[in-house]
Structure 1
């Protein structure tokens, strides 16, 4: 019997995933966690075979260290990112950190079924679009390569900025000093060669 953990703060998403998974593996035992902390505690005591992890939660964007920690606890577990966050920005980053796949929440029902079925059978899955994107970026050094220059913390700060968070709000959410957030913002602007938030929006919108 396959044991599967769904980590997502939306119960309706978990229920939808459960329905699709059961249509592929009828006898699957499915566990639920609505945040990463609960998920970590669960896998410390209950081994699972597959983990589906969202990377965007209220007041928190999950970094690649979460995947690394989960892999440390359960080395044999297969982890796929299941998120509406832009796969062209995040897929290769998380896969390099140890994730075994990336499935976009915005996929059609047919695409989702195919992706899940492939993942369960092969233990890995990335879309053809992302395979092509990774090769294209490598060969042509396109804009997404700029994003890859950002550290996990810098990328997280960027996402909060795009969501409209102030420096103070970001500092409080990430439990860091305002001066630290300001330093991250400076590094982001330098690495992306931009000078204002409007340009930051533009960089992320054209990926």
Structure 2
């Protein structure tokens, strides 16, 4: 199995690489320090598995990177590595296209099991999060018809946290490789769909949805 590791801490990348390369059927072919570098390496090498950290400040979050990769390089399966044992993170990650969710505090054998499961076409959720997944799935199905958040497009989900963090239209356009006018259009749509009137309300909404924690 060809694997790429993306994490903003060098010591973490080194530790995971040592563990994985010790397995006879696995090999780490590259490592990345942020989401954009991970995307570039995945596009270049087409690995079987990408182990992706959810939070890599100040770079692109793992959630956004997951969506980009699944749209452009769907053959690469993604396992999220994170310290966040929270339901909303888990659900949003799976919605973005990830095939696995493993907590960094999990035993080594748990990560290896996750890689093999995902490689064979399955989905792997950290055992401690299984109950949360079922609960969140049920809640999501009940709320999806009334929650305007579910109507946001993938691009709007990328623009929303950046706008809430205070980035200007030009900065957001450069980050997402789109035009300033497109950014303005997305922001207008976001405000309309979420029934928000100004930026303070946008920030408050983003905080409530835990979109600023990455």
Unaligned 5+ runs, structure 2: 210-214
Please tell me the root mean square deviation across aligned C-alpha atoms, in Å: 3.1
For 1:199, which of 195, 198, 201 is the aligned residue? 201
Contact 1:7 1:51 in 2 (8 A): yes
- Write the deviation string for residues 127-171 of structure 1: whole angstroms up to 9, x where unpaired: 32233212211124498x433321111111112113321112112
Cα pair 1:56 1:62 within 8 Å, conserved: no
TM-score (norm 1): 0.73
Report the equivalent of 1:11.
10
- Find the counterpart in structure 2 of residue 148 from structure 1: 150
For residue 130 of structure 1, what is the aligned residue in structure 2?
133
1:40 aligns with 2:47: no
TM-score scaled by length of structure 2: 0.71
Match of 1:31 in 2: 29
1:88-131 superposed Cα distances (whole Å, 9 cap, x missing partner): 56223213xxx31234xxx3513x64752441342222332233
Q: Which residue of 1 aligns with 2:79?
A: 80
Between the two proteins, the alignment pairs up a number of residues equal to 189
